[in-house]
Structure 1
Amino acid sequence: MAENRVTESGLMISRVFDAPRELVFKAWTEPERLAQWWGPKGYELKIAKLDLRPGGMFLGSQRSPEGHVMWGKFVYQEIVAPEKLVFIQSFSDEEGNTIRAPFSGTWPLEVINHLTLTEDLGKTTLTLKGGPYNAADEERVTFEGMRPHVQQGFVGTFDQLDAFLAKT
């Protein structure tokens, strides 16, 4: 039976950016900024919707260099500008309906992410904690097995955020 919880073995990533917290928050919450850095390197993000409010949704598609398109969404749970975002992330179709990940039939349908931003002397520390949400045991096991790859993916995405912030 699925429980409404995050697995204790979720992931946590922390990174310091040489940018003020307000700017880092805007990079996560303004479509024209988010489209310039989110996702794997070489992928193009097209944002169909970004409704920044609790219960609101980000919906977008990523196109790989080979032309493969995947849709995904965030459903915002909590927003405290400019210090906190909590959102449930899922793969989706273009209408925003949650679907299974294209790479695994047992990847969690929902992953919750808690993003916090703290600023010290003009630099922002971003901390991301996340893991399966409303997940079956099999989904939690799949997530745990893929955790090193998920962390590596976030490192690459945060490299792109760092480069974006350096240009801004």
Structure 2
Amino acid sequence: MFTKTEIILSFNATRELVFKAFTESEHLQNWWGPKGWAFDISEFEVREDGVLHYSQTSPDGNVMWVKFAYQEVKAPEKLVYTSFFSDEKGNIVRAPFNDNWPLEILNTFTFTEHEGKTVLTMIGTPVSPTEEEMKTYEESQEMVQAGFSGTFVQLAGYLANISEN
């Protein structure tokens, strides 16, 4: 069985603005990641073969590094990238919360506009997982959905408080 994470949400903003929220650091740093965690960008180049490398620091001081490797950037319609936990230098490392988490996840975000709102569809699938990694991913869907849902609630709040520049 092959599992994917799929989340579909609607935002009360143009797709150009929602796309910018994902692709411009001045926007992304205001909403991405777990609530209450510090978000620091080390490298950010949104283009084919570009990367986003960042750290997140929990309120109790634990630091996690994450890296995105962009494969497709089609403004304002689509973003495709692999994501993985990394060290400070950007090398792939095991997830800090589970040694059997897949090393890489392929993420596809599509942005469509409908009646002045943006519909965001996010699909995440493990890249070449072992059987054990796939089992862990399948068993963790509730955690994954909750994590992204919290992040996207922050995005909705952020979008409600800014105007298109």
Range class of TM-score, shorter chain: over 0.9
- State the Cα deviation string for residues 5-58 of structure 1 (Å, max 9, x = none): xx7311100000000000000000001111110011111110111111111110
CA apart distance, 1:137: 1.2
SS of the equivalent of 1:96 reads: coil
The aligned residue for residue 45 of structure 1 is 39
Cross-structure match for 1:166: 160
Report what 2:21 is aligned to.
27
The corresponding residue for 2:67 is: 73
Q: How far did 1:166 drift? A: 0.6
SS of match in other structure, 1:112: strand
DSSP 3-state at the match of 1:99: coil
Gaps of 5+ in 1: 1-6
Query: What is the CA-CA distance between 1:131 and the residue it aligns to?
Result: 1.5
Work out the percentage of aligned pairs sharing the same amino acid: 51
Q: TM-score, normalised by structure 2?
A: 0.96
Count of residues in correspondence between the two structures: 162
Identify which of 80, 88, 100 aligns with 2:94.
100
The reply on whether 1:62 has 2:56 as its aligned counterpart is: yes
Q: Which residue of 1 aligns with 2:120?
A: 126
Partner of 2:140, secondary structure, is helix
Cα root mean square deviation, aligned: 0.9
Instruction: Give the aligned residue type for 2:101.
Output: W
TM-score (norm 1): 0.94
In the TM superposition, residue 100 of structure 1 has moved relative to its aligned partner by 0.3
Q: Matches of 1:32 and 1:97 in 2, distance apart?
A: 25
Q: Deviations over 1:49-75 (max 9, x none)?
A: 111111111000001111111000110
